[in-house]
Amino acid sequence: MAMIDVRGVEIRAGVLSRPEQEAMLRDVLAVQAAAPPFHPVTRWGKAMSVAMTSAGRFGWVSDRRGYRYEPRHPSGVPWPPIPDSVLAVWRAVAPGMREPECCLVNLYRAGARMGLHQDRDEADLSQPVVSISLGDEALFRVGNLERGGTTESVWLRSGDVAVIGGAARLIHHGIDRVRDGSSDLIPSGGRINLTLRVVT
């Protein structure tokens, strides 16, 4: 398993084998069946291009009231539990950390992207954010702790894991684009990104 450092973000290539990716995808599809993906709306009323759902004690939502964690899906149902296959990755790459309370599931279809942002809605910033890539390759951009300045980019492939923690915990990062059709893992195409966080 190769590991590269991009401005303090650890990119661990090939953490998951193809059979492990397929098993995790089955678990994630079960999460989506219980809590269907939706397109959050920003504070300014614009729908995000990425569809989202969550698993765990909390889920991340956004609407005109702002960004926040909630204990229930917008439909009112509780979020399903985080699958064991996903928790196993957290325990492997973030040993000694608290168990994650949220697994945000981001679904990227054609043209979807995620602008540079910080993950800062969590109460304990000593805990990392762990990101798992499934499906199509994505161009991951890493910036700085402050907005602006130069950036670096790296392609994330299915089975890769990124760990955003330590001095890089509040670094700006995002997805510029997805390489459509670069993976046949997801039958309907696209990319699924799972981000694990400790919320409280």
Q: Which residues of 164-196 are buried (b: 16+ CB within 10 A; e: fewer)?
A: bbeebbebbbbbeebeeebbebbeebbbbbbbb
Cβ neighbours of residue 37 under 8 Å, at least 6 residues apart?
A: 51, 52, 53, 105, 107
Per-residue pLDDT of the chain (200 residues; tens, 9 = 90+): 689 999 999 999 999 999 999 999 999 999 999 999 988 877 766 777 889 999 999 998 877 777 789 999 999 999 999 999 999 999 999 999 999 999 999 999 888 888 888 888 899 999 999 999 999 999 999 999 998 899 999 999 999 999 999 999 999 999 999 999 999 999 889 999 999 999 99
Residues 102 and 196: beta-carbon distance below 8 Å:
yes
The sign of the dihedral angle between the CA atoms of 181, 185, 188, 189 is: negative
pTM: 0.94
What is the pLDDT, as a whole number, of residue 22?
98
What is the pLDDT, as a whole number, of residue 185?
98
In the chain the domains, ranked by start, together with CATH numbers, are 3-197 (2.60.120.590)
